[in-house]
A and B are shown apart, each in its own frame.
Chain A
Amino acid sequence: MNKKLFGAVAVSAALGLVAISRLASADPLPPDATYRPLPTVPLDVVRKNDEAMKPAVLKRQQALLNERYDLSNRAMSGVKMAGGRKTVQDGVRVKLKSGTTWDSLAAMSPGEIKEKNLLPAGFLPLPHVKQLAGGQVFPNEQIEEIRIAESRNLQRFDVDFDLPSHLTPEFPAPIFLTTRPELGDVSGGKLLTIRNYYAMMVGIITPVQMEGLRLLLTPFPQEEFNQTEDRKVPEQSLGVACLDCHANFHTNAAFHLTPDVRPQAARFRLDSTSLRGMFNQQIHGSKRSLRSIEDFTEFEQRTAYFNGDHVSATRKGVHLPDRPNQVAMMAQMQNIIDFPPAPKLDAFNRLDPSKASPEELAGEKVFMGKGRCAECHIPALHFLDNNMHDLKLERFYRVGQTFNDQVAIPDGPIKTFTLRGIKDSPPYLHDGRLITLADTVEYFNLVLGLKLSEQEKQSLVAYMLTL
């Protein structure tokens, strides 16, 4: 017997025991644990059921939101988002569990908070308005604008958007271009659509960028908006466009479920991310860490559109953009979207002491030092580090609890998001679980064990408003 073959046989024999175990453990979950099941009920029955259940679904979500947050409209005086159309919301909105204060929580160990079940529920993962159905949900402003401009229906029959509009970004958001910084906002206060983009952008962008823009505004079939019986709109739909969520290349707070986790109950909510500053971002997707905007643009047809289920996509009509031409043009358009102006920042995104207030400067000092913010949000890198980090929030609560059909599992590593223009993009964190900048300060104060004073917390908020 040849020596190599003998070796292989000997190894197989030694592994025999293991091999038996492996064979015996072939007892998997059914395919719907990973794949989207095919519909077996006619659309009219699904619709009737969904519409009948809708009031209870919305009521349940409102109950959860009200239990976790103060959703009232409390605007900061004099602080508006970059387009000047919406005021920034003030104060901490996450509700404390009774008998606790932010300081008393900060003084406790994670284990004690977990043991006594004292983590504010607003710090937990935020469920989708209807977790088990999931899918894209658009805010009413977007639905109305698209209905008027394109006669296209983005209103689902099973759910409505769940946050009040004073807690979402201004709409339509202003658009700033790296290629034409002298122009300022080029949106003219309008929402870019497939019907108006050409007239709005001719003379401002290049032919290649124009074609990229056209593709980003073209509706393509999507899981809930398509031509098949498995959809959530009454009529057959042309689909959705990239900029239906990333409205005017920013975000309108439309949400979805992550394509990257199964089963359904464990998927986390995704708050649409802004595309501002894409030119400096090296990793894309909260979980996937895709290495270029080209990769991301190409693969969104598999993920944002079809939940990371290419099998379902094939049936509903997937659009696979041609990589060397279409993807490249879509990417180049996204890569010229700039942040809003930040007049108090210098070339390295540090505050100019001649322009900033003492409180803002104090906030920057906390940001760079005691607050440890700049360890990931590095000013010179546009507040990115192009890494993913795990904050390990599960140290503070018992994992596996179910809230509105969502199972709270650890978040795991999530990519660092930029803080440039951050006052323009509430709600915060990847799933939008935090309502205001003050909420983010309390969140990180607890999670990182910072023990910031009240004054330090306020200065951090003041600082973030300058970004």
Chain B
Amino acid sequence: MKRILICLAATLFCASVLADTMGNPAGMSPDTPGINAAKPAKDHSNIQDKLFVRQAAIGGRAEVELGKLAQSKGVDQAVKDFGSRMVADHGKGNDRLMRASRGVNAEIPDGVDPEHQTVRRELTELSGADFDLAYLASQIRDHQKTANLLQWHISYGQNQPLVEYSIQTLPTVMGHLEQAKLEHARLTTAGAPITRASD
């Protein structure tokens, strides 16, 4: 609990100073409200914010869908658990994203995107250990992509609640990526004990 409080305090500290210093001049657009008064509006959103919400929502939704698939089709217990973690973490993450992006007015397509439809179809055709490996491989790709998306948004986003969302979410996503890499390595390295990142 103490740790959570410290993390929360650190986050609040970041958020309070963030407000004063946000905005990369190289990326600021001329229609930023307040720009001419040298006080860009704090709740303003730019095109990077809008694109971020779209991509993050698509990715988050797919993680939940594929996580459910892993819960039912996974063979290795760690793969099933990873799927459950994805359903739980990304489910919560998607809700937080929707709250943080109020007012950003981003367009989010319905349903699972074509890329993840393909991935889901490919995974559905596999079973056993083949499924486990293919699922983890797709999770490594997806989390690489999401980590890059978040880092890019932290670099160029201007909407304060949304940038805070990205800052808070990135360590979790990078933790997922690390876990997916470790489990994948474990399943492809017969017999050899794999050290976890936290050891």
The residues of A with any CB-CB pair to B shorter than 8 Å are 17, 20-21, 24-25, 27, 29-30, 32-33, 36-37, 39-41, 45-46, 48-53, 56-57, 59-60, 63, 109-111, 114-117, 130, 132-133, 158, 230, 263-266, 394-395, 398-403, 405, 407, 409
Contact = CB atoms under 8 A, between A and B. Distances in A.
A117 B6 CA distance: 10
A133 B25 contact: yes
Contacts of B33: none
A400 B147 contact: yes
Nearest to A33: B152
Given A51-B38, A56-B20, A132 B155 contact: yes
A59 B24 CA distance: 17
Contact of B151 (A37, A56, A407): A407
Contact of B170 (A25, A111, A402): A402
A37 B122 contact: no
Interface in B156-199: 156, 167, 170-175, 178, 196-199
Contacts of A402: 14, 154, 167, 170
- Most chain B CB within 10 A, of A25, A63, A402, is at A402
A53 B40 CA distance: 10
B36 interface: yes
B23 A49 contact: yes
Interface in B12-44: 14, 17, 20-21, 23-30, 35-36, 38-40
Range, interface on chain B: 35 or more
A260 to B, nearest CB: 15
Interface of B: 3, 6-7, 14, 17, 20-21, 23-30, 35-36, 38-40, 48, 51, 55, 113-115, 117-119, 122, 141, 147-149, 151-152, 154-156, 167, 170-175, 178, 196-199
19 contacts: A20-B118, A27-B55, A27-B115, A40-B29, A41-B29, A45-B30, A46-B28, A48-B38, A49-B35, A49-B38, A53-B23, A114-B198, A158-B25, A263-B151, A399-B171, A399-B178, A400-B172, A401-B170, A405-B155
Given A29-B148, A265-B151, A109 B199 contact: yes
Contact of B25 (A50, A394, A401): A50
A407 B26 contact: no
Given A49-B35, A53-B20, A400-B171, 15 more contacts: A21-B115, A24-B118, A32-B152, A48-B36, A49-B40, A52-B39, A60-B20, A110-B199, A111-B198, A117-B3, A263-B152, A264-B155, A264-B156, A399-B178, A401-B171
B122 to A, nearest CB: 7
B180 to A, nearest CB: 14
Contacts of B23: 49, 53, 132
Contacts of B167: 402
B15 to A, nearest CB: 11
A39 B119 CA distance: 38
Contacts of B147: 400
A119 to B, nearest CB: 13
Contact of A263 (B14, B155, B198): B155
CB-CB nearest 8 A-B residue pairs: A400-B174, A52-B38, A56-B20, A400-B171, A264-B155, A132-B24, A400-B170, A111-B198
A352 to B, nearest CB: 44
Contact of A60 (B7, B17, B35, B113): B17
A111 B198 CA distance: 4
A266 B38 contact: no
B199 A111 contact: yes
B119 A400 contact: no
Nearest to B20: A56
Given A46-B25, A53-B20, A29 B149 contact: yes
Contacts of B51: 30
B166 to A, nearest CB: 8
Contacts of A29: 148-149, 152
A131 to B, nearest CB: 9
Contacts of A36: 26
Contacts of B175: 398, 400
